[in-house]
Amino acid sequence: MPEQPYEPEGAIAGTGMGGAMDLGASEAATLEGPPGGHEGTGAQGKPRSLWSDAWRDLRRNPVFILSGLVILFLVFISLWPSAIASGSPLQCDLAKAQDGPGPGAPFGYDGQGCNVYTRTVYGARTSVTVGVLATLGVAVLGSVLGGLAGYFTGIWDSLLSRVTDIFFAIPVVLGGLVLLSVVTSNTVWPVIGFMVLLGWPQISRIARGSVITAKQNDYVQAARALGASDSRILLRHIAPNAVAPVIVVATIALGTYIALEATLSYLGVGLKPPSVSWGIDISAASPYIRNAPHALLWPSGALAVTVLAFIMLGDAVRDALDPKLR
């Protein structure tokens, strides 16, 4: 007779090919892990990542929702200001100078007889444009320089550290007064260039530290052992895992750059008339704050709400991307 295969005591007979066993509910639950999926896996078994977890947390965060709605509104009026404001921000009537709110002018008129409501709406375009473009420039330049220094280290890292120390020693407002006072162009580009010039060292240090931490991980060592080039390791393995701190700092800095543009325009070295800017309007309304406080209240209030919205957005993104807070 053919020898019967040995079957351990208590084993359950297999029903599928290859002797697969039918597990009971308790054994299946034990192997599958907790109901919510094991660490790194979603409820349906899909791989989880830092970005998917962050987006899930952001959607439940009221601070992110509120700040996001405010920013979306600012972007809308920056692209299409005429949708909610009729007339031109440069159209003024001296006969209505310092007048209070009236038909077609819910915010009143400034010292030149310009519609404060129209100028406040159109001023959002300048602030958002400067903030977004300056942040992109700072993030790209700082990430590239800091990432390369953190990856290659050595003399490049030492050189970058000394250069960033020099830039950190320059007062931002004082540097703007000196550099922009010799610029004759009345566009946003000199202001954006100045912000990028003095803003990249902060992002550079954040990117450098993040890259140094990421390149010590096992998957980077494995890619290097398999013969991957430095460019591939940086772009495919290190950058996606080191970019989160840069995004957080850049988001918070965006509000700072908007406030900096208004400060430089207020001091007369940023944008100048006839450009429309909240800083210009605040500067023009300051001398007659007692007679026409509305001319100062609305542009300064719009500036404060805008800066606060971007700072709140940065705080929400930071909380979502920081694993230690979960």
CB 313 within 8 Å of CB 247: no
Domain annotation covers residue 286: yes
Q: How many structural domains does the chain have?
A: 1
Residue type, 289: I
Residue type, 26: S
Domain annotation covers residue 186: yes
- Which pLDDT belongs to residue 227? 84
Range of the domain at 289: 72-79+102-325
Percentage of the chain beyond pLDDT 90 is 44
- Which pLDDT belongs to residue 293? 92
Q: Extract the runs of DSSP E, i.e. beta strands, from 110-266.
A: none
CB 42 within 8 Å of CB 48: yes
User: What's the DSSP call for residue 99?
Assistant: -
- Which pLDDT belongs to residue 160? 87
CB 292 within 8 Å of CB 96: no
Mean pLDDT of 293-297: 93
Domain annotation covers residue 178: yes
CB 266 within 8 Å of CB 279: yes
Say how far apart CA 39 and CA 50 lie, in whole Å: 12
Rounding to the nearest 10 degrees, give the CA dihedral for residues 186, 190, 194, 195: 80
Mean pLDDT of 291-314: 93
Determine phi and psi for 23, rounding to 5 degrees.
-85, 145
**Per-residue confidence band for 325, with pLDDT thresholds at 50, 70 and 90:** low
- Which pLDDT belongs to residue 12? 38
Domain annotation covers residue 268: yes
Say how far apart CA 244 and CA 213 lie, in whole Å: 12
Instruction: Tell me the β-bridge partners of 114.
Output: 92
Residue 159: other Cβ atoms inside 10 A: 11
Residue type, 110: D
Q: What is the pLDDT of residues 223-282, one digit of tens each?
A: 888 888 888 888 888 888 888 889 989 998 999 999 999 999 999 999 988 899 999 999
- Which pLDDT belongs to residue 26? 39
Domain annotation covers residue 26: no
Say yes or no to pLDDT of 302 above 90. Answer: yes
> Distances from the Cα of 23 to the Cαs of 10, 14, 37, 246, in angstroms?
13, 10, 19, 48
Mean pLDDT of 51-67: 87
Mean pLDDT of 140-160: 89
Determine phi and psi for 14, rounding to 5 degrees.
-80, 150
Domain annotation covers residue 157: yes
The most distant pair of C-alpha atoms in the chain lies apart, rounded to whole Å, by 117
Q: What is the pLDDT of residues 156-194, one digit of tens each?
A: 888 888 898 899 888 888 999 999 988 888 889 999 999
**Per-residue confidence band for 22, with pLDDT thresholds at 50, 70 and 90:** very low
- Which pLDDT belongs to residue 58? 87
Query: Contacts by 228-232 with C-beta closer than 8 Å and gap 24+?
Result: 230/151
Q: What is the pLDDT of residues 104-124, one digit of tens each?
A: 899 999 999 999 999 999 999
Instruction: Tell me the β-bridge partners of 105.
Output: 102
CATH number for position 247: 1.10.3720.10
Segment of 19-28, 257-266, 315-324 carrying the highest mean pLDDT = 257-266
Domain annotation covers residue 58: no
Mean pLDDT of 118-137: 94
Domain annotation covers residue 283: yes
Say how far apart CA 134 and CA 143 lie, in whole Å: 14
Token pair belonging to 102: 């009236």
